[in-house]
Chain A
Amino acid sequence: MANLNIDARAQNTYDAIVIGSGISGGWAAKELTGKGLRTLVLERGRDVRHVTDYPTTMMQPWEFDHRGQLTKEVKDANPIISKCYAFYEGTQQFFVKDAEHPYIQEKPFDWIRGYQVGGKSLMWARQTQRWSDFDFDGPARDGFSVDWPIRYADLAPWYSYVERFAGITGNKDGLDTLPDGEFLPPHEWNCVEKHFQQQVASRYKDRHVIMGRAAHITKPQPVHLQQGRAQCQHRTICERGCPFGGYFSSNSSTIPWAAKTGKMTLRPDSVVHSIIYDEQKGRATGVRIVDANTKQMQEYYARIIFLNAAALNSNLVLLNSTSHRFPNGLGNDSGVLGKYVAFHNYRAGISAQYDGNLDSTTDGRRPNSPYIPRFRNVYKQETDFLRGYAAGFSAGRTSRANQNGIGADLKQNLLNPELGGWYVGSHMMGETIPKETNYVALDSAQKDPFGIPQLKISIAYDDNDDKMVKDYQEQMTEMFTAAGFTNIRVRDDHRNPGLDIHEMGGARMGKDPKTSVLNKWNQLHTVKNVFVTDGSCMTSTSTQNPSLTYMAMTARSADYAVKAMKKGLV
């Protein structure tokens, strides 16, 4: 019997375990297998294979029973996920339904999740900007968080590394607020976007309108073709999964790349319960999972563990990994685990019309749009709120049919639409301040369907956010007015936190183990063989979309982990 147990243990032992297969987990899998480690990738959801598991990707609009609309049954059963802009008839299969993973909203929070191989990398909006030193220096300067243990220079080569592989389109703009990357050719501007760019440039020396940087292959390089990916075809139905691999997803890129090494074992339907800590050895030895189908508990073992379950779930796993040594969660001597969660504020927007450039229009579709990097409080504190916001911006033209009348006249009108004027719009992406009062914790009584404590989420906006919303609306109105846009309308939809899908923090990085959970290598200060490289590691949130930074951090951290492992340090 004893021998059998040893055999079983050996069978369940790997060099490395990666928890999660989304945007950062995919990179952990690729890097660790690429360096020769036998790696087990645990994914709580089902397997989703590139192309074959994208059931709606080639469906024409008329092939959807409800032409894309959600049914009443789905909406009634899913009040939270139904609010997500990307959730519709063609994408339902990739989003977590409300009942599948209950959580407790101490304050309203719309938690948007994708539980499957590839995670949310299948449905993300693909914007990929680097952070700058203004972002990494910010907390130390403003004093609103702890100092980051790294700076832009630490990450710069890793940004380049992941950009080349993932395929990022963009323009080299030479801005100190938004460092340039390794770009494929940028997408095209339209006339009105160009007009706005010129108007802004002529009036403000520190405000810029640039083409968005996005994870789309505008010109495939050999490394993309080797991945089996092809040029973006401008379908703009990305969130159904792209059969061309035109945008980056774990499914089309990192996971199959890791599989090709022969070193990866992928185990879907594996809900991670906790990380196992061995008191004698003073290290983590493995991971405890609940098989989603059988509900059986199972243990897997490895020398190093990468936690990439997505920000809030990584907090959950760490909090639920308790032992004598760590009664409040793995690596949580500081007591800050689960706290200082922050997010992005997408509440505000602005729209308007433009009466010029009527002799031109657009043709085709673009899965990307221009972008306005942060310009507030960059070089000095100039407002009564901390930090700032970036903004999306785009212009377009639609053709409108006159829908009056009935019968043959109506039909004639419908089939002969008139080209309308230009419309312009923008939305804000505000940085929120990580605060101790914005936290997640485990509920002591309520469990999820796998017997794991439910996550209690207590996150809200504050005054700083309200002031920032107001400033965005004022500044954009000023810029829109200057550009000659008319019928300007601002909005604040007061959406719940969470709906922006950029939750970050809880297991923040820092120099001091007393005030942070992870060190500069994304390594638990006190459990050196556990690395956390998803959104939970974030010390502050910046205004940039976070995914590219997770990818770069993961590659950097994996490189360090393997070197440290070889030196016997972990």
Chain B
Amino acid sequence: MAVAAGGLISLPAWATNWTSETVQLTHPFLTSGQDDLLADIAETIIPTTDTPGAKALNVHQFIQKIVTDCYDKSAQETFRNGLNAIEEQAQKAFGKPFREGDTAQRTALLTQFSQSTEPAQKEFYSMVKGLTVRGYMNSEYVMTNLTHYQMIPGHYYGCVPVPAKAVSQTK
């Protein structure tokens, strides 16, 4: 009913011509090899299961965009150095690039970074993980299919019973 009232207003063309591919980098900050590595790290943090993981949702592109456009130089350095450190450690730990490690190896390596006594490694991991979670949760796929974001709720009910199973479920 309320939404129908809004429909009386004609919206301009751009309002309906939404595109999902908005993450385009103006000044790429990482090399394509580093970008691939970042995609694999993000995918290790949030993998494909019965729903798409971080890589399929282009979360790594989002991460690169934020680091490039919103972070200062020292954070960018921490980030770049962290990527290099991951590759070095991968060579040491399982004798091949991170990309070629299996899930258990990759997970172990990232876990090691998360608990590292080296502040730079720890900082790198928490940066990548935070951005991966943010990019994933704010992706179109997750917001529309899994968390059912409503652009126009059309109401506010102040006191509703807590549903038996509160929030959205994976499909």
- Please name all residues of chain A whose beta carbon is closer than 8 Å to the beta carbon of B34 when the two chains form the complex: none
What residues of chain B have their CB less than 8 Å away from a CB belonging to chain A?
2-3, 5-6, 8-9, 11-12, 14-16, 18-20, 22-24, 44-47, 49, 51, 53, 62, 65-66, 69-72, 103, 107, 110-111, 114, 129, 133-140, 142-143, 146-147, 149, 151-162, 166-170
Residue of B nearest to A366 (CB): B156
Residue of A nearest to B125 (CB): A406
Considering the complex of A and B, which 10 residue pairs feature the smallest CB-CB distances, nearest first? A190-B158, A366-B156, A188-B158, A364-B156, A58-B15, A364-B153, A364-B155, A71-B69, A363-B157, A62-B140
- Please name all residues of chain A whose beta carbon is closer than 8 Å to the beta carbon of B8 when the two chains form the complex: 230
- Please name all residues of chain B whose beta carbon is closer than 8 Å to the beta carbon of A399 when the two chains form the complex: 166-167
B151 near A191 with CB under 8 A, answer no
A60 near B151 with CB under 8 A, answer yes
What residues of chain A have their CB less than 8 Å away from a CB belonging to chain B?
51-52, 55, 57-67, 69-73, 187-191, 193-194, 220, 228, 230-231, 233-235, 243-245, 358-366, 399, 403, 406-408, 410-412, 414-419
CB distance from B138 to the nearest CB of A (A): 5
B156 near A187 with CB under 8 A, answer yes
Q: In the complex, what distance in Å separates the CA atom of A410 from the CA atom of B137?
A: 12
A220 near B5 with CB under 8 A, answer yes
Q: In the complex, what distance in Å separates the CA atom of A284 from the CA atom of B64?
A: 58
Q: In the complex, what distance in Å separates the CA atom of A52 from the CA atom of B65?
A: 29
A414 near B137 with CB under 8 A, answer yes
Q: In the complex, what distance in Å separates the CA atom of A72 from the CA atom of B70?
A: 4
Secondary structure call for the A interface: loop
A230 near B5 with CB under 8 A, answer yes
A52 near B157 with CB under 8 A, answer no
CB distance from B132 to the nearest CB of A (A): 9
A362 near B18 with CB under 8 A, answer no
CB distance from B54 to the nearest CB of A (A): 9
Could you list 16 A-B pairs, sorted by A, with CB under 8 Å? A60-B140, A63-B18, A65-B23, A65-B65, A66-B65, A191-B159, A358-B162, A359-B161, A362-B159, A364-B157, A406-B111, A407-B46, A407-B107, A412-B170, A414-B133, A415-B147
Q: In the complex, what distance in Å separates the CA atom of A360 from the CA atom of B166?
A: 11
B71 near A72 with CB under 8 A, answer yes
- Please name all residues of chain A whose beta carbon is closer than 8 Å to the beta carbon of B45 when the two chains form the complex: 406-407, 410
Q: From the candidates B6, B110, B143, B162, name the one contacting A406 in the complex (CB within 8 A).
A: B110
- Please name all residues of chain A whose beta carbon is closer than 8 Å to the beta carbon of B53 when the two chains form the complex: 411
Q: In the complex, what distance in Å separates the CA atom of A51 from the CA atom of B140?
A: 24
Task: Tell me which of A228, A365, A414, A415 has the highest count of chain B C-beta atoms within 10 A of its own C-beta.
Answer: A415
A73 near B69 with CB under 8 A, answer yes
A406 near B44 with CB under 8 A, answer yes
B161 near A360 with CB under 8 A, answer yes
Q: In the complex, what distance in Å separates the CA atom of A55 from the CA atom of B22?
A: 15
